[in-house]
Chains A and B, each alone.
Chain A
Amino acid sequence: MATHTPRRHGGVFDVLQEWITTVDHKKIGLMYIGYALIFLVVAGAEALLMRVQLAVPNNHFVSPQTFNRLFTMHGTTMVFFVGMPILFGFGNYLIPLMIGARDMAFPRLNAFSFWISAFGGFLLYFSYLAGSGLYGAGTAPDVGWFAYAPLTSRVFSPGHSTDYWTLSVLLSGVGSIGTALNIVATALTMRCPGMKLSRMPLLVWLYVVTSCIAFIAVSPLTAAQIMLVIDRYLGGHFFDTQAGGSAVLWMHFFWIFGHPEVYILVLPAFAFANEIIPVFSRKAIFGYPAMVAATVAIGFISMGVWAHHMFTVGLGPEANAFFTFSTMVIAVPTGIKIFNWLATMWGGSIRFATPMIFSIGFLFQFLIAGLTGVMLAASPFDWQLGNSYFVVAHFHYVLVGAILFMIFAAFYFWYPKITGRMMSETLGKWHFWLFVIGFHMTFDFMHVPGLLGMPRRIYTYEADRGWGGWNMIVSIGAIFQTAATLIFVYNLIRSYYKGEEAGPDPWDAWTLEWSTSSPPPSYNFAEIPTVHSRRPLWDLKHPDDPDTNYE
């Protein structure tokens, strides 16, 4: 490795130094993405181990302790160290390019946020080495990704593994708030001339809304983690049920974060769809103002629905009814989005390139995921389904079927911009079809054991419950997903060296990032552009009939 000499620089250390000290939004964005991809493989491998264990009843592949650590690490990693960084990575890379700016508003804060989040992820896995401190062998946290009190108190979680969990989540939260701040400031103050808010690409709009949710939602998590640290290190009693503390308070605090968090994760996926679907349908997005309004509405409503994760906690019938209603209301703005995407495709001329087929997969799967969400929102139904595999199926349907699919779409779409080379379409199709098959084997069939009474987070189950066969199918699906993911990673690497030259605008698209070379120069634009409509490149390509006539 050390002998390999990159083209422009003295040696590997120079390259390393360049990346470590960089404040360029594109490099930071790429570091976020690379870091998230590594964790995707790690957390995916953890999922695989869980699936091996659960494939048959009464299995002894891993011990209960190991299994509990696996789902805790898998959930925490996927949410905080895959979902968040990958979305922030794309945001970092794309936002300045799409609004015609040369960098983010606060480049140094940007680097700081990245490194603090990266350190958080490192701490989480460091616990495998140091989790029980001086007591001996290492252990990872095993409290679940929402870490309900009082399981996290010193009495029930001795050793240091839970400390690592809370610190790493705390740091990731600080990093997220930093990046969110940067995104809002960039979008509001760095737009190129002519780009009024009403002309801002939808992707940027959605990132702004996501970031605003992050301020209001991630901060409570930070606060709750500070309280947990006070309890664990200083002997406080916030969640100490033996001193009159309340376990339910932690649930409220966590879900005040946790629910909006899922929209923080999904809005960037929507953002990608908003850019990709129009380009491959060859039509302008249908109902731009409605899309913005629906996003803002989702942001507001998502603040008032958290207790749908707590329908079985004993909130009382009135609160259950209220949260049933507020949760269901979210279906309305979300439905508007689905219908607007459909209307965008309607009457278009749809090209089935890899980014588009992933987007269609997303539309289909998000529809189902949303509908299972509505079932969970009917609180009596949730008294049966809550904490069962039905819930696990619901949220993987969104997190994998919607978000991961859109992330893949985004990779195929913007990879040419980032590297200057196209990704292989053939490998892309293989990736898509294998992943779709694996996804549906895993997560369609996962609903069934939930309906048959299988709770989540159990390391094994009794043979006489009729869950065995379903779990076997679920586990086999995970193998397909692994194969597909490996193809994807291979495609990423291969295309970097062997991919076709892309040119600045391979998809014949309309937003500003396609107006500069691929990869963009470090200053992005030789001259800062001026825009007159939402689709500046459309105007340029169709001078006879520019968008300015219609907006």
Chain B
Amino acid sequence: MSTAVAVSHSTEDDWKQPSRGMVGMACLIAAESAIFIIFVIAYIFYTGKSLTGPTPREVLDLPIFSTVCLLSSSITVHFAVHQLRAGKIGQCSAWLAGTVLLGGIFIASTAKEWYELIYHHGLTIRTNLFGTTFYSLVGLHASHVIAGLIMLSLALIFSLQGKVNAHHAERLEVLSVYWHFVDAVWVVVFTVVYVLGR
């Protein structure tokens, strides 16, 4: 046939498609949400079904402070993106540093909580259904926080080294969307584990 490579090539006006990174992140978030939903369902399904103690009421305290930290880190990362877009690299680094700090506090307080549960209350992942579902759900979330923190720290390092400029704003924004997602998941986990499940 004579048709090979003969399609016309005139470009159409304003041919715009969504951003690749954003679409990818949206897909990732869809998939991750499904994973979290399954863990949350398992948690809810098993609340109050443990055959032995300890129960959530006996050992869990409301992690108000770390929750506030994590949620405010969503605001700081938002400003970091905002500043980067405006070309203010220094400001951006500062906000990023704040974000990493707040996220770090969250992880540290989770670590402390687990330490107390394990060594003072004798609750491990093997103890009972509560232990199994609690550590897996909270742990799954914490691992996402850690992943986010690693990427944010990398961004921070790059921006401190001055390797970042306004062209990277979109990438940082994709990262910030991930971070917002991790925060949103925490709201659900907090509600289910510490409020409803107690």
Contact = CB atoms under 8 A, between A and B. Distances in A.
Nearest to A245: B129
A217 B34 CA distance: 8
Contact of B129 (A234, A244, A504): A244
B31 A253 contact: no
B184 interface: no
B126 A515 contact: no
Given A185-B23, A222-B35, A515 B4 contact: yes
A398 interface: no
Interface in B14-42: 15, 17-20, 23-24, 27-28, 30-35, 37-39, 42
A187 B28 CA distance: 16
B125 interface: yes
A180 B27 CA distance: 9
Contact of A189 (B12, B23, B45, B51): B23
A234 to B, nearest CB: 5
Nearest to A517: B4
Interface string A504-539: 111010001011110000000111111100001100
B7 interface: yes
A530 B34 contact: no
B191 interface: no
A220 B136 contact: no
What are the 9 tightest A-B residue pairs by CB atom distance, in nearest-first order? A219-B34, A223-B38, A529-B7, A504-B4, A235-B126, A236-B132, A505-B1, A181-B27, A215-B31
B8 interface: yes
A193 B51 contact: no
Q: In which size bucket is the chain A interface?
A: 35 or more
Contacts of A236: 125-126, 132, 136
Interface in A171-197: 177, 180-182, 184-185, 188-191, 193-194
A537 B3 contact: yes
B129 A237 contact: yes
A408 interface: no
A218 B126 contact: no
Given A237-B132, A540-B6, A540-B7, A220 B35 contact: yes
B3 A220 contact: no
Interface of B: 1, 3-12, 15, 17-20, 23-24, 27-28, 30-35, 37-39, 42, 45-46, 49-51, 125-126, 128-129, 132-133, 136, 140
Given A189-B17, A235-B125, A235-B126, A504 B7 contact: no
B114 to A, nearest CB: 14
18 contacts: A180-B27, A181-B24, A181-B28, A189-B19, A194-B15, A215-B31, A218-B31, A219-B31, A219-B38, A220-B34, A234-B125, A244-B50, A246-B45, A249-B42, A505-B3, A508-B1, A514-B3, A536-B7
A184 B15 contact: no
Given A215-B30, A235-B126, A516 B4 contact: yes
Most buried by B among A217, A223, A516: A223
Given A219-B34, A219-B35, A249-B42, A105 B20 contact: yes
Interface in A239-292: 243-246, 249, 253, 256
A31 interface: no
Nearest to A256: B38
Given A236-B126, A238-B133, A529-B8, A185 B20 contact: yes
- Dominant secondary structure of chain A at its interface with chain B: helix
A227 interface: yes
Contacts of A212: 30
Contacts of A222: 35
A184 B21 CA distance: 11
Given A227-B39, A529-B8, 10 more contacts: A219-B35, A234-B126, A236-B136, A237-B128, A244-B51, A249-B42, A504-B3, A505-B3, A505-B4, A515-B6
Contacts of B3: 504-505, 514-515, 537, 540-541
A177 B140 CA distance: 18
B20 A189 contact: yes
B38 A253 contact: yes
A540 to B, nearest CB: 6
Contact of A193 (B11, B18, B30, B50): B11
A224 B32 CA distance: 13
Contacts of A177: 31
B118 to A, nearest CB: 13
A220 B40 CA distance: 11
A216 interface: yes
A193 B12 contact: yes
Interface string A104-145: 011000000000000000000000000000000000000000
A468 interface: no
A506 B3 CA distance: 11
A159 interface: no
A503 B1 contact: yes
Contacts of B12: 193-194, 530
B133 to A, nearest CB: 7
Contacts of B32: 219
B82 to A, nearest CB: 24
Contacts of B4: 503-505, 515-517
A226 interface: yes
A531 B38 CA distance: 43
A178 B120 CA distance: 41
Nearest to B140: A226
A526 B5 contact: yes
Contacts of B8: 529-530
A230 B35 contact: no
A188 B9 contact: no
Given A216-B30, A530-B10, A230 B15 contact: no
